[in-house]
Amino acid sequence: MLILMNPDHSKDDLEGVLEKVRALKLKPHVIPGATSVAVGITGNSGALDPREFTMLPGVRDAVPVTKSYKLSGRDFKHGDTIVKVGGYEIGGNGFIAIAGPCAVESEEQTIRIAKAVKAAGAHMLRGGAFKPRTSPYAFQGLGLEGIKILAKAKKETGLPIVTEVLDQRTLDQVAEYADLLQVGARNMQNFALLKDLGRLKKPVMLKRGLSATLDEWLMSAEYLLSEGNGQIVLCERGVRTFSDHARNTLDLTVVPAVKELSHLPIIVDPSHATGVRSRVAPMARAAAACGAHGIMVEVHDDPKRALCDGAQALSPEDFSSLMTDVNKITTALGRGPAATRAKK
Ligand code: PEP
Ligand code: MN
């Protein structure tokens, strides 16, 4: 249920609505709008009677919200959510590029690649320190040491850090250093982790689960939003289908679908979606063309020796020409420069 307040409602009118919602043992969410205020209600298992609210002073209307996701949907918020990360804005008309190695392997490797992607036009540095690997025998990441290396790379280059938080145990360590905390595909439905991230005051990148529907994905975002964290960036990284010519199937139709249904920004990861270097740039260009708010691309300067995902890593040179193309595409679409510096 969404309660729409009259433009001339008083503070007491709004308080009366909030009290009413709390008396029903439900949770009110005040949503400021351009001309007035709305109050979203979550926590109800069945439909609410709109008359319970329309009779209250200062209330213009009470609209039932039929979708299972609420706070992440456009019914609850019409304008776009803009997530601010290290001075950059993700969402709206801007387009950001996150780039870096799959995994932090050493200080030299990370700083070298960070400088290269910065020179090529990346706005943020990615790199996994806690790695979710299919095999327990594969490189699991450098852990806290890797996080500290990322912090050094940030100091050297000024690039904000995007890195994965694997579990609740290491959440505090990651949150201390990361500018944007990545929830990987495998953790999209780790609800306990999502609840803890929801209580954090830091932006979260929520990757789409290996075979998650759009509804399931938005319900995971709902876990963060309902705990109070609305700084969410969705990331499409391909889903599993019957197709076996690529690592995953990049579902670009989800980009306009998300933009219709949700106010949250969505970026695209063409690296994990394709798994093959030669297909990364075409899909990244397509992501820019179909309206995504950014891309996240794996880059390595010695992919043969990469400890993880070498086959899908672009060289810094290839990443640089991709950035030239992406800038042309976003400019042609009237989206201005690739990234917008957030107003401080
Ligand atoms: C990653 O981006 O490092 C990663 C592991 O991706 P995903 O969770 O999408 O597989
Ligand atoms: Mn990877």
Q: Distance between CA 299 and CA 4 in Å, rounded?
A: 47
CB-based contact 126:324 (threshold 8 Å): no
Q: Which ligand places an atom closest to the C-alpha of 240?
A: 1
- Which atom, in ligand 1's list, is nearest to the CA of 238? 9
pLDDT of residue 339: 55
Q: How far, in Å, CA of 213 to CA of 45, rounded?
A: 22
Closest ligand 1 atom to Cα of 235: 9
pTM: 0.92
The answer to whether residues 182 and 188 touch, using CB atoms and an 8 Å cutoff, is: no
| Total residues belonging to the chain | 344
206 by DSSP, 3-state: which?
strand
> What Rg value do the Cα atoms of the chain yield, rounded?
21
- Token pair of 316, please? 């810094």
Query: 170 CA distance to ligand 1 centroid (A)?
Result: 17
Three-class secondary structure of residue 339 per DSSP? coil
Cα(3) to centroid(ligand 1), Å: 39
User: Domains, the chain, ranges and CATH?
Assistant: 2-63 (3.30.70.1140), 83-332 (3.20.20.70)
Task: Tell me the ligand closest to 296's alpha carbon.
Answer: 1
| Predicted local distance difference test score (pLDDT) of residue 325 | 96
The tens-digit pLDDT sequence of the chain (344 residues) is 999 999 999 999 999 999 999 999 999 999 887 788 999 999 888 889 999 999 999 999 999 887 888 899 998 887 899 999 998 999 989 899 999 999 999 999 999 999 999 999 999 999 999 999 999 999 999 999 999 999 999 999 999 999 999 999 999 999 999 999 999 999 999 999 999 999 998 999 999 999 999 999 999 999 999 999 999 999 999 999 999 999 999 999 999 999 999 999 999 999 999 999 999 999 999 999 999 999 999 999 999 999 999 999 999 999 999 999 999 999 999 886 545 554 43
Q: What is the secondary structure of 63-102 as a DSSP string?
A: E---SS--TTBTTT--SPP-EEETTEEESTT--EEEEE-S
Around Cβ 241, how many Cβ atoms within 10 Å? Answer: 11
- Give the atom of ligand 1 at the shortest distance from the alpha carbon of 103: 3
User: How many C-beta atoms surround the C-beta of residue 107 within 10 A?
Assistant: 17
Residue 39 is classified by DSSP as: E
Q: Which of 293, 277, 322 is nearest to 120 (CA)?
A: 322
Pairing relationship of beta strands 161-164 and 96-100 according to DSSP bridges: unpaired
pLDDT at position 65? 84
Which pLDDT does position 342 carry in this prediction?
A: 47
Tell me: the pLDDT tens digits for 88-119? 999 989 899 999 999 999 999 999 999 999 99
Residues with CB under 6 A from ligand 1: 102, 128, 132, 164, 184-186, 207, 237, 272
pLDDT of res. 53: 96
User: Measuring from atom 4 of ligand 1, which residue has the nearest CA?
Assistant: 184
What integer pLDDT is reported at residue 47 of this predicted model? 86
What is the whole-number distance in angstroms between the Cα of residue 92 and the centre of ligand 1?
A: 24
How far is it, in rounded angstroms, from Cα 110 to Cα 299? 10
Q: What is the pLDDT of residue 336?
A: 61
Burial 153-177 (b: 16+ CB within 10 A, else e): bbeebebbbbbbbbeeebbebbbeb
- Around ion ligand 2, residues with a beta carbon closer than 5 Å are 102, 309
